[in-house]
Chains A and B, each alone.
Chain A
Amino acid sequence: MSLALWTALRTLRHRLGTLLITAVAVALATATALVVPLVTRQVERGAQDAAQVFDLLVTAPGSGTQAVMSTLFYLDVPIGNMPHRVYQNLRQLPGTRRAVPIALGDNFAGFPIVGTTAAFFDQRLKPTLPPYFRLAQGRVFSKSHDAVIGARVARDAALQVGRTFTGAHGVETGPHEDDAGHREPYTVTGVLAPTGGPIDRAVLTPIDTVWAVHGPQAAQARAVTAVLYSAENLAGIYTAAQRVNAGKDAMAVFPGQVFAQARDTLMQGQAAYAGLSVLVLGIAALTVALSVYTSSLERQRAVALLRALGAGRGAVFTLVLLETGLTVTAGVLLGLALALLVSSVGGSVLGGRLGFTLAPPVLTWALASRALLLIPLGLITALPHALQSSRVSPLKHL
Chain B
Amino acid sequence: MTPAPLTGEGLRVQHAREVTLAYPAFAWPAGTHLAVTGPSGTGKTSLLNVLAGLLRPQSGRVTYGDLILTDLREAQRDAFRRRHVGYVFQDFHLMPGLTVLENVELALRVAGTARAAERARDALTRLDLGARLRHRPAQLSTGERQRVAIARAVAHRPGLLLVDEPTAHLDRDRAAAAMTLLREAAGDLGATLIVVTHDEAMAASLPLRYHVTPVPA
Contacts and interface: CB of A to CB of B under 8 A. Distances in A.
A302 B95 contact: yes
Interface in A70-94: none
How many B residues touch the partner, as a band?
20 to 34
A313 B75 contact: yes
A13 interface: yes
Contacts of B87: 308-309
Interface string A285-313: 00000000000000001101111111111
Interface in B61-107: 74-75, 78-83, 85, 87, 89, 93, 95-98, 102, 106-107
Nearest to B80: A310
Contacts of B107: 309
A310 B83 contact: yes
Given A3-B109, A309-B110, A313-B74, A14 B82 contact: no
Contact of B106 (A7, A312, A394, A398): A7
Given A311-B110, A395-B49, A395-B55, A14 B97 contact: yes
Nearest to B112: A3
Contacts of A3: 109-110
A15 interface: yes
B54 A394 contact: yes
A365 interface: no
B111 interface: yes
B98 A310 contact: no
Nearest to A305: B93
B93 A310 contact: no
A3 B96 CA distance: 18
A370 interface: no
A302 B103 CA distance: 11
Interface in A1-39: 3, 6-7, 10-11, 13-15
B111 A310 contact: yes
Contacts of A398: 89, 93
A6 B97 contact: no
Contacts of B82: 309-311
B131 to A, nearest CB: 21
Contacts of B49: 395
Nearest to B45: A395
A317 B178 CA distance: 36
Nearest to B93: A305
21 contacts: A10-B102, A14-B98, A15-B97, A301-B93, A307-B78, A308-B52, A308-B87, A308-B93, A309-B82, A309-B87, A309-B106, A309-B110, A311-B82, A312-B75, A313-B74, A313-B78, A315-B110, A394-B54, A395-B49, A395-B55, A398-B93
Interface of A: 3, 6-7, 10-11, 13-15, 301-302, 304-313, 315, 393-395, 398
Given A13-B97, A310-B85, A312-B79, 17 more contacts: A11-B95, A14-B97, A302-B97, A304-B93, A308-B52, A308-B81, A308-B87, A309-B81, A310-B78, A310-B81, A310-B110, A311-B78, A312-B78, A313-B74, A394-B54, A395-B49, A395-B55
User: What are the 4 A-B residue pairs with the smallest beta carbon separation, nearest first?
Assistant: A14-B97, A310-B82, A310-B81, A309-B110
